[in-house]
A = this chain, B = another copy of it.
Amino acid sequence: MTTIKDIAAKTNLSISTVSIVLNNRASRIPKSTRDIVINAAKELNYRPNQLAVGLVTKRTKTLGLIVPDIRNNFFSSLAKGIEDEARNNGWTVLLCNSNDSHKRDLEYIKMLEGKGVDGILYSMSSDSNLKNFKEKYSLIKNFDIKFLMIDRYLDFPATFPKINVVSLDHFKGGYLAAKHLIDLGHKKIACVTGPQYLSESNDRLRGYKQALDDGSIEYDEELIVEGNYHIESGVSAVNKLIEKDFTAIFAFNDMMAYGVLKGLKTYNLSIPHDISVIGYDDIYLSEILEVPLTTIHQPIEVMGRGAAKHFINIIDSKEEFLDNLPLYSPELIVRKSTSKPNKRLLNKRTQVI
Q: Which residues of A are interface residues toward B (Cβ below 8 A)?
A: 1, 47-52, 54-55, 60, 62, 65, 69-71, 73, 76-77, 79-80, 83-84, 87, 92-97, 110-111, 113-116, 143, 231, 258, 261-262, 284-285, 288-291, 301
Contact = CB atoms under 8 A, between A and B. Distances in A.
A116 B80 contact: no
Given A70-B79, A80-B69, A51 B95 contact: no
13 contacts: A49-B116, A50-B114, A50-B115, A50-B116, A51-B54, A55-B55, A80-B97, A83-B95, A87-B97, A93-B95, A258-B288, A285-B285, A290-B291
A70 B50 contact: no
Nearest to A261: B288
Contacts of A47: 110, 113-114
Contact of A94 (B70, B77, B93): B93
Contacts of A262: 288
* Copies of this chain, whole number: 2
Contact of A80 (B71, B115, B258): B71
Contacts of A51: 51, 54-55, 60, 115-116
A262 B286 CA distance: 12
Contact of A284 (B62, B231, B290): B231
A104 to B, nearest CB: 8
Contacts of A110: 47
Given A92-B111, A116-B49, A70 B70 contact: yes
Contacts of A65: 95
Contacts of A143: 1
A284 B289 CA distance: 13
A172 to B, nearest CB: 25
A186 B54 CA distance: 62
Given A51-B51, A92-B115, A95-B95, 19 more contacts: A47-B110, A47-B113, A47-B114, A49-B116, A50-B114, A50-B115, A51-B55, A51-B60, A51-B115, A70-B70, A70-B79, A70-B83, A71-B76, A73-B76, A79-B95, A84-B97, A87-B97, A94-B94, A258-B288
Contact of A114 (B49, B96, B231, B261): B49
B54 A83 contact: no
Interface centre among A60, A93, A301 (most CB of B within 10 A): A93
Contacts of A261: 288
A92 B94 contact: yes
Nearest to A82: B95
B288 A114 contact: no
A290 B270 CA distance: 12
A95 B83 CA distance: 8
Given A50-B114, A51-B54, A71-B77, A95 B97 contact: no
